[in-house]
A and B are shown apart, each in its own frame.
Chain A
């Protein structure tokens, strides 16, 4: 146990030797993992978008302009009690601001405030039930149309077909792409760490010559490789999170209203975990041929 602890500490101490080589190795691991994470983030969000479009459907409801806003608000309250996923409402003023924001930051539309041509609107999202999607869509649309003061209910029938296509593409292309990306990342990281450990091949050879067991030689390398993988993976997730916080709301504007989601916890943990294993394994193999 004492020997094992000593070898573990030696593995950590090895990270302090040849600092520039360690720095470049860690940088390569971080940026390779970051690119893989970014790819994963994009695919994950595309998948989410496709899934939400497939499982959910949206109706854009327009009220008469002369309908008193208080009554419209009461109807919004009522609709929100229905079995729906979400309701996003816009008073004419809010719709005007949103329109102005989406056109140009400098655009001043205050002159329209007194004679606002926009009606109260609501974007209603709900899930389609298994096997009864079209019936449910028809029923909700009918209920919305029957509400007093509702002028028009917008619905895009192509939405469903498009979503189904996305799902087909995601299962046919996205997952193989993720697999390929993982393989490439694994190979680049493994090779980088292996090359880094190769600089210690002479020491490994000499240790073998003076009677060190392969475990004695390889365990510290395994520790430093694992630490490289863990640190690189964790830092790449950190960088990814910073990037995500920066671009989270980039697509959150009409008509997209897409908020970019961060990777789920299992993915976040998987990145450093996989890199730790890759680091340990590649370092373990690095000097194996030198032990005779």
Chain B
């Protein structure tokens, strides 16, 4: 589902990703971890097509990012959903409208949109907030709206960049359960996180550690509380 070979990316002269390679099959779950500034967000954005692939090869959901023209990016994004660290939701629109947005741009009929949005909002405990404007709800709720918007289309690949950053432990675990359900049902999930709790919640998931843009081996301290890179 995702094949990355020798991927490098720079902003000006600064290389933020250096020679990254990994491969994920359908239904795989990958934790992307590493300190701040390691290149996790950049890797996510490259895989989503938000940043152009500069060096190396990347095949995502059947799309070769090297040769994918800009005008066909939307086709990639209909298969690959993303949850951004800063949510990227529309504050002046309601929770419902934000979550329904990806379905509307696909031209889905209203009845189906209602059915799917309702189900996703219920799953993320946002059904009582459906009519509220996103600027009126809390940071944690906004984060869940961003997740709901990403999963509502049932994507082949789900990229999530620190999706639990604003949530308490209980809500984080609930959200992790949502990702796990998608993973079980065949969605390939890439989740960037610092949280060891999340990583421990899914034993058997793949882990890719990044440090200064390079893939490194992950190691854990004796207490198992902190990730050492």
Q: Per-position contact with A for B181-221: 1 when CB-CB < 8 Å, else 0?
A: 00000000000000000000000000000000000000000
**Chain A interface main SS type:** helix
Interface assignment of A195: CB less than 8 Å from any CB of chain B: no
A-B contact count (CB 8 A): 49
Q: Which residue from chain A places its CB closest to the CB of B109 in the assembled complex?
A: A2
Q: How many residues of B contact A (CB 8 A)?
A: 23
Interface assignment of B102: CB less than 8 Å from any CB of chain A: yes
Interface assignment of A214: CB less than 8 Å from any CB of chain B: yes
Interface assignment of A173: CB less than 8 Å from any CB of chain B: no
> Lowest 8 A-B CB distances belong to which pairs?
A212-B105, A210-B102, A211-B77, A211-B78, A213-B74, A3-B107, A211-B74, A210-B101
Q: Per-position contact with A for B65-93: 1 when CB-CB < 8 Å, else 0?
A: 00000110110011001101000111000
Interface assignment of B52: CB less than 8 Å from any CB of chain A: yes
Q: A210 to chain B: which residues have CB within 8 Å? A: 77, 81, 101-102, 105, 149
Which one of A55-63, A201-209, A238-246 is at the B interface? A201-209
Q: Which residue from chain B places its CB closest to the CB of A203 in the assembled complex?
A: B90
Q: Are A208 and B70 in contact (CB under 8 A)?
A: no
Give B105 Cβ to nearest chain A Cβ, in Å. 4
Q: Which residue from chain B places its CB closest to the CB of A217 in the assembled complex?
A: B105
Interface assignment of B50: CB less than 8 Å from any CB of chain A: yes
Interface assignment of A31: CB less than 8 Å from any CB of chain B: no
Q: Are A211 and B70 in contact (CB under 8 A)?
A: no
Q: Are B153 and A211 in contact (CB under 8 A)?
A: yes
Known: A216-B105, A292-B50, A292-B52. A209 touches B88 (CB 8 A): yes
Q: A43 to chain B: which residues have CB within 8 Å? A: none
Give B70 Cβ to nearest chain A Cβ, in Å. 6
Interface assignment of B128: CB less than 8 Å from any CB of chain A: no
Interface assignment of B106: CB less than 8 Å from any CB of chain A: yes
Q: Which residue from chain A places its CB closest to the CB of B49 in the assembled complex?
A: A292
Selected contact of B106 from candidates A2, A209, A211, CB within 8 Å:
A211
Q: B50 to chain A: which residues have CB within 8 Å? A: 209, 292
Provide the bound-state CA to CA distance between A154 and B108, in Å.
82
Interface assignment of A291: CB less than 8 Å from any CB of chain B: yes
